[in-house]
Amino acid sequence: MTIEVKDVTKTFDGRKVLDNFSLDIESEHSYIIAGPSGCGKTTLIRIILGLDKPDEGSVKLLGDYKYPYIVSGTVFQEDRLCDDFTAVENVTMVSHKIFKETAREELEKLLPAEVLDKPVRELSGGQRRKVAIVRACCIPNDILIMDEPLTGLDEKSKEEAIRYIRDKQGSGPLVITSHSGEGFDFGRVVNL
């Protein structure tokens, strides 16, 4: 599978945040979209996901693919968790194919067992981020797309999260945005 991002341009309030940007996202590869705040990383992610439309250019699914769309395990810049739900409930709610036992097992790879049954509003920012990462990785998906997934994590937690994400990536592509490509030596760094 290849997702072709071709000559994408997007302007907000007269300012071009993406200018004729192109990238082929291929299976079994990892892409780190790097750049400072405001350079268009989140906009690019939203266009790839079909949440925004480019002013010019296109995003197409290429190759021998039987569906007209892809399923993405996604981490947004905001955690987008349901505050009154537990970590386990936040993971299971996104797909009927995820069972509580599986969610608990996956969450315990990044979080202590004692926090899994608390409402996520009681968790720290880093713990909430880990719930968002696990939720994205547990969804049966064609691609993992993560917008600054390591925000709020200390160095040890970042390393654990990267190992977890890479393990869950499988043969699909992985797209991560970050302020820099540092610490992402496993992927192709694309600077915006």
pLDDT, tens digit (0-9, with 9 covering 90-100), for 31-43: 999 999 999 999 9
Arithmetic mean of pLDDT, 109-127: 97
| pLDDT at 63 exceeding the cut of 70 | no
Report pLDDT for 69: 74
Q: Residues 1-70+144-192: name the CATH superfamily.
A: P-loop containing nucleotide triphosphate hydrolases (3.40.50.300)
Name residue, tokens 């694309």. Answer: 190
Please count the CA atoms within 13 angstroms of the CA of 53 that sit on its side-chain side.
Answer: 2
Using pLDDT thresholds of 50, 70 and 90, give the confidence band for residue 191: very high
pTM over 0.85: yes
CA distances from 187 to 42, 157, 178 (A): 18, 19, 12
Inter-CA distances, 106 with 27, 42, 101, 103, 143, Å: 23, 27, 9, 5, 18
In the chain, domain spans: 1-70+144-192, 80-141
pLDDT at 66: 62
